[in-house]
Amino acid sequence: MPLDPSLGLKALVALGAVVLLAAVALRATMGATKPGGRRRLAVQEVLPLDPKRRLVLVRCDGRDLLLLMGGAGEVPIGWLPVPDDAA
């Protein structure tokens, strides 16, 4: 049985589609950063309290949020005040 001459072209088009989808997925995951390259969300520090619970300090848009994670769930403790020298 002879090979279909368009089989190579179909394979090449399929490979191009997969590469394009991978590029779009990569671009979407990298889209979490602002256009200036500065991230809006970052974990500043993690303090284990016991084997199940930990305090997590998260920075979002220049403000710090303290979270208690583990145990029954995640509990936001609260936003920390902005230091005078940062304002």
Looking only at the bridges linking them, the beta strands covering 63-69 and 75-79 are antiparallel
Domain edges within the chain = 1-31, 40-87
Query: What integer pLDDT is reported at residue 34 of this predicted model?
Result: 53
Dihedral of CA atoms 23, 34, 59, 41 in degrees, nearest 10, equals: -20
Per-block average pLDDT, block size 10, for the chain (87 residues)? 78 86 81 65 93 92 91 87 72
Within 10 A of 53 (CB to CB), how many other CB atoms are there?
Answer: 14
